[in-house]
Structure 1
Amino acid sequence: MAGTALPLPFVDARTSSPSPAGQVPVVLIHGWASGSVYWEPLAKLLLDAGREVWILDLPGYHRGQDLPADFTWTLESAAASVGAAIRARTDGPVHLVGHSMGGSVSLTLAAKHPELVATLALVGMVPAPQNEAFKNLLVSQLEQGFFDAATKLKLMNAWYGELSAEDMELLSKGFDTPFRILSASAWAAMTGVEPSVPSRVQAPLLVIAGTGDRVRSIEQMAAFVAASPTRTLKAIPDAGHTVHWEQPEECARTLCEFWKTSWPPPA
């Protein structure tokens, strides 16, 4: 089943009241070892701004979902599943917002099915090599066959910085995802998108980057954006890899302005 779509058991579609006619839905796609919960602050702000918001869980990430044994977790198969979920709910395009690995899934979908994508926002992600120390740490855990508590803590601190005990418990639940899903999706994320994918994306593209991101540098983000006139960079101070959780107000303002100026496309 490599590259084939799998029905997603969790798509949380939220509509503001009242919702403007002809609203283009916003689809939030989480990263590796994460889930829908860390979108909550941003989703609330977008709803308050009158946006329709869909939050989904990628294949195997929703608690209790049992993937078929022959399903191969790749960026392509994840993108196909997201595409099928979008088509099941709308005839028009959507605003894709993908964080980290979710950005790679979003890029893959936008390149293959441009008719589904009005705009694309990458949060804490561009198709560039990850921090080598982070990658080596991840590989060591994949090779040993489980994620130990010390490594989980290191990863959470790298992604989020200082967290309260309550937020740490809430946000680390992504590691409860079955190891075979965490492993396969981690390898997909580290391999990254096929080289031709970025140049095939037709939609206006925004990169939102925390200046303190420890997974990919702000210099990598800027270099990717500079390669095309259809790409825009918003660097947000006092934020790291999960900029949407750390600075949701600034992310919401940035996204709403991007959508306002990018869609509908200029005549």
Structure 2
Amino acid sequence: MATDGPWTHDQILVNGVRLHYVEAGEKDAPLVVLLHGFPEFWYSWRAQIPALADAGFRVVAPDMRGYNESEKPHGVSSYRSEELVGDVAGLVRELGEEQAHVVGHDWGGIVAWQTAIRHPEIVDRLAVLNAPHPGAYRRELQRNTDQLRRSWYALFFQLPWLPERLLGARNCAVLADLPDSATNPEAFTETDVRRYREAASQPGALRSALNYYRAAFRENLRTELRALVGGERPDQSVRAPTLLLWGEQDPALCVELTEELAKWVPDVRVERLPDASHWVQNDAPDRVNEALVEFLR
């Protein structure tokens, strides 16, 4: 997909999967990896890539596996957290670096959390946008009926074929509603929506994206069963300095997910944007860019 801008396109083979990515900035500058969410692709960072490059970073924004121009491996097991984290770790190493600043939004944020948990040696600094720490998400599902209600779609996505059929109808027409779900009327232009629809309409893309949810559901179920039998849960601590940016007008994620995080993330700073939606980097690009540049420096 051709999208003009101050970046270059390339491909790389990591963790057995071919990933497409865009890059900006000097090759010898500190590396920042930007991980997009659902149902997006690298283009969701269009306002952040030039800002971070201008601030002196080497910026790489991949299409995560299954999305847009990246390879779309078959089967739910191909989208387990182990594989997604392996993609990030492999990408950093194949780019010739030992560490990187990792930034993620939505599903990219979930993968960013897991990368910092499982590969602390890879993540120098961590920034997450509207994606909960796994411990906080589990806590709120147990005690917060509002968050349980908001998470209904994740259960719906467990169904076979039907979610793909509904989301993919009329060339992913559901994505035409993106501007209505943002709080900033300028967050998504008609061109932006068209590009998201084109990316999601590629063969296998929706199934791959939904398999993220299916793999996570199965993994979490196994974790809960093991904890029930053995009484232990995996360590979910994050050593890297962490910035959590949160648009408070998020219909899917409650603000309580940003609270009481020190148990897992001792060095965390939380910045809430009261007027931003789930699409926080699109609703408030200048504020997000300022926060990221300040934190990553």
* Shared fold per TM-score greater than 0.5: yes
- How far did 1:181 drift? 0.5
Q: Does 1:38 align with 2:32?
A: no
CA distance in 1 between counterparts of 2:40 and 2:235 reads 24
Q: Is the 8 A contact 1:75 1:104 kept in 2?
A: no
Once superposed, which parts of structure 1, at least 4 consecutive aligned residues long, lie more than 6 Å away? Answer: 191-194
Q: Which residue of 1 aligns with 2:247?
A: 210
Question: Secondary structure of the residue that 2:287 maps to in structure 1?
Answer: helix
Match for 1:166: what amino acid? T
**Unaligned residue ranges in structure 2 (runs of 5+):** 1-13, 142-146, 224-232
Distance 1:99 1:197, change over 3 A: farther
- How far did 1:196 drift? 3.4
Cα RMSD for the two superposed structures: 3.1
Q: Which residue of 1 aligns with 2:234?
A: 196
Q: Percent identity among equivalent residues?
A: 22
Q: Which residue of 1 aligns with 2:212?
A: 185
Question: Secondary structure of the residue that 1:97 maps to in structure 2?
Answer: strand
Question: Secondary structure of the residue that 1:37 maps to in structure 2?
Answer: helix
Question: Secondary structure of the residue that 1:86 maps to in structure 2?
Answer: helix
Q: Which residue of 1 aligns with 2:272?
A: 235
Match for 1:78: what amino acid? L
Q: Does 1:167 align with 2:167?
A: no
Match for 1:15: what amino acid? G
CA distance in 1 between counterparts of 2:212 and 2:291 reads 29
Distance 1:103 1:70, change over 3 A: closer
CA distance in 2 between counterparts of 1:240 and 1:192 reads 28
Between 1:153-162 and 1:246-255, the stretch displaced more is: 153-162
CA distance in 2 between counterparts of 1:80 and 1:71 reads 13
Match for 2:48: what amino acid? L
- In the alignment, which of 201, 212, 222 is matched to residue 259 of structure 2? 222
Question: Secondary structure of the residue that 1:224 maps to in structure 2?
Answer: coil
CA distance in 1 between counterparts of 2:154 and 2:75 reads 24
- In the alignment, which of 47, 52, 55 is matched to residue 53 of structure 2? 47
- How far did 1:123 drift? 0.7
Q: Is the 8 A contact 1:11 1:55 kept in 2?
A: yes
Question: Secondary structure of the residue that 2:124 maps to in structure 1?
Answer: strand
Q: Is the 8 A contact 2:242 2:265 kept in 1?
A: no
- How far did 1:29 drift? 0.5
- How far did 1:53 drift? 0.4
**Residues 192-221 of structure 1: CA distance to partner in whole angstroms, max 9, x if unpaired?**
87763531x211111011121222122221
Q: Is the 8 A contact 1:83 1:109 kept in 2?
A: yes
Return the structure number with greater strand share: 2
Q: Is the 8 A contact 2:63 2:69 kept in 1?
A: no
- In the alignment, which of 103, 114, 137 is matched to residue 153 of structure 2? 137
CA distance in 1 between counterparts of 2:107 and 2:122 reads 19
CA distance in 2 between counterparts of 1:214 and 1:64 reads 29
TM-score, structure 2 length as denominator? 0.73
